Amino acid sequence: MLVSGGAGYIGTHTCVALIEAGYDVVVVDNFSNSEASAIKGVEQITGRDIAFEQVDTCDIEALRGVFLRHEFDTVIHFAAFKAVGESVAEPLKYYMNNLTSFMNVCALMKEYGRPNILFSSSATVYGEPDALPVTEQSPRQPATSPYGNTKQMCEDILRDCCHAYDGVDGIALRYFNPIGAHPSALIGELPRGVPNNLVPFITQTAAGIRECLSIFGSDYPTADGTCLRDYIDVVDLAEAHVAAINRMVGGKMEEKYEIFNIGTGRPVSVLELVNTFERVNGLKLNYKMAPRRTGDVCSVWADTSLANSELGWKARRSLDETLASAWAWEKHVRNI
Ligand code: UDP
């Protein structure tokens, strides 16, 4: 199977899970936001050599070469830019990259008769939901960033391709908030520069790289005033991909295009997450309350019953073990 963006955070963990489930993977990545060491980590964990092609999926002729050199029926498309704030400042960079690379993948899958496309979507498509938890039927809200818009547009592109082309089937997985790292601490998230996401900022603060964590907003209408999210262990998330692939290659899809929420179903506040991180890792974090961050929604968490029943998958790991793995990974990266 082809894994685009397979050197990235979710891509590496998914490659490990796929290999452990008996699948062969070919990774395509241009290292625009990842490093060759990530592939080495996957090789160390699995004890296997990873077939790797350093190709930009926006370059359709280079990507065609990958299709011609390798046999696969399935692609998992992770390759995308993902920084929400940067997408507001540089929308064309996001539209060009995220849409071109996905359309290239879809076009070549169709051209070469490769049937199964799995797309990395996001809970961001739900915006600020009217009702919680969100199901796959909950309405998508107008995107509040070009990044979010590319997720919605790619979902629509995949849906339309699946309906128009006999030989193309698709699944979109809507990820909630992936956090943590592989328990080996050999792979994990490698943010460049100042992290935008909560858990990398927490671990870097604990490591002394950042002085103080700002908790964005303490006046939300929630029990402790901070935002609620559905934080899912990246290894659970990786296993959801294997379950979705099993469904596709096993011919068990009920529709040509299907969508699944991938979360835990449990809302956790920012403050609760920070307190849990401190407790499980036995340390004190320097943090302060700060104003709300523009564009943040107050609360979003998943109804995961469809993924539970149709994929036979469930998030199993506790927040405690996930936050321990996040800290173990940061310590590994920093040689602490
Ligand atoms: N957050 C925070 N401080 C940070 C980064 C994030 O308080 O330095 C909060 C953010 O306001 C949100 C939650 O943590 O409520 C998760 O943010 P993240 O960027 O990780 O994911 P998002 O849900 O925005 O995709």
Report the nearest atom of ligand 1 relative to the CA of 214: 3
Alpha-carbon span 171 to 121, nearest angstrom: 10
pLDDT digits (tens, 9 = 90+) for 1-15: 999 999 999 999 999
Could you tell me where the beta strands, DSSP code E, fall in 202-324?
Answer: 213-216, 228-229, 231-233, 257-262, 268-269, 287-290
What is the helix (H) or strand (E) element at residue 118, kind and residue range?
strand 116-122
- Closest to 102 (Cα-Cα) out of 63, 134, 72: 63
- Pocket flag, ligand 1, residue 196 (CB < 6 Å): yes
What is the helix (H) or strand (E) element at residue 74, kind and residue range?
strand 74-77
Could you tell which of 270, 274, 277, 297 is best to mutate to test the pocket of ligand 1, judged by most ligand atoms within 8 Å of the CB? Answer: 270
Q: What is the pLDDT of residue 86?
A: 95
Task: Output the residue whose Cα is nearest ligand 1's atom 18.
Answer: 197
- Pocket flag, ligand 1, residue 227 (CB < 6 Å): yes
- Pocket flag, ligand 1, residue 177 (CB < 6 Å): yes
Q: What is the pLDDT of residue 63?
A: 98
Kindly report the average pLDDT of the chain as a whole number.
97
Task: Output the residue whose Cα is nearest ligand 1's atom 11.
Answer: 216
String of DSSP letters for 12-58? HHHHHHHHHTT---EEEE--SS--HHHHHHHHHHHTSPPEEEE--TT
112 CA distance to ligand 1 middle (Å): 41
Q: What is the pLDDT of residue 50?
A: 98
Please report which confidence band the pLDDT of residue 195 belongs to, taking 50, 70 and 90 as the band edges.
very high
For residue 289 the two structure tokens come to 């309350």
The values of phi and psi at residue 262, to 5°, are: -120, 100
Percentage with pLDDT > 70 across the chain = 100
- How, if at all, do strands 213-216 and 257-262 pair? unpaired
Alpha-carbon span 149 to 172, nearest angstrom: 15
Could you tell which of 197, 205, 231, 272 is best to mutate to test the pocket of ligand 1, judged by most ligand atoms within 8 Å of the CB? Answer: 197
Q: What is the pLDDT of residue 99?
A: 98
Q: What is the pLDDT of residue 159?
A: 98
The DSSP output letter for 186 is S
For residue 111 the two structure tokens come to 């051209």
Report the nearest atom of ligand 1 relative to the CA of 297: 15
265 CA distance to ligand 1 middle (Å): 18
- Pocket flag, ligand 1, residue 214 (CB < 6 Å): yes
String of DSSP letters for 126-153? G-S-SSSSBPTTSPPPPPSSHHHHHHHH
Percentage with pLDDT > 90 across the chain = 99
- Pocket flag, ligand 1, residue 79 (CB < 6 Å): no
Burial of 5 (0-12, 13-18, 19+ CB in 10 A): buried
Q: What is the pLDDT of residue 203?
A: 98
For residue 235 the two structure tokens come to 């290894």
Please report which confidence band the pLDDT of residue 227 belongs to, taking 50, 70 and 90 as the band edges.
very high
Average pLDDT over residues 91-100: 98
Q: What is the pLDDT of residue 11?
A: 98
Please report which confidence band the pLDDT of residue 72 belongs to, taking 50, 70 and 90 as the band edges.
very high
For residue 155 the two structure tokens come to 């979902």
Could you tell which of 121, 231, 296 is best to mutate to test the pocket of ligand 1, judged by most ligand atoms within 8 Å of the CB? Answer: 296
Q: What is the pLDDT of residue 333?
A: 96
Indicate the residue type of 309: S
pLDDT digits (tens, 9 = 90+) for 270-305: 999 999 999 999 999 999 999 999 989 999 999 999
Helical spans, DSSP H, in 124-233: 146-164, 198-206
Q: What is the pLDDT of residue 12?
A: 98
Q: What is the pLDDT of residue 184?
A: 98
Q: What is the pLDDT of residue 103?
A: 98
pLDDT digits (tens, 9 = 90+) for 149-161: 999 999 999 999 9
Alpha-carbon span 248 to 310, nearest angstrom: 12
Please report which confidence band the pLDDT of residue 320 belongs to, taking 50, 70 and 90 as the band edges.
very high
- Pocket flag, ligand 1, residue 216 (CB < 6 Å): yes
Report the nearest atom of ligand 1 relative to the CA of 300: 23
Alpha-carbon span 216 to 213, nearest angstrom: 9
- Pocket flag, ligand 1, residue 12 (CB < 6 Å): no
- Annotated catalytic residue 147: yes
Task: Output the residue whose Cα is nearest ligand 1's atom 7.
Answer: 215
Please report which confidence band the pLDDT of residue 142 belongs to, taking 50, 70 and 90 as the band edges.
very high
Average pLDDT over residues 122-142: 97
The DSSP output letter for 265 is S
Q: What is the pLDDT of residue 261?
A: 98
5 CA distance to ligand 1 middle (Å): 23
**Catalytic residue from among 9, 94, 147, 257:** 147
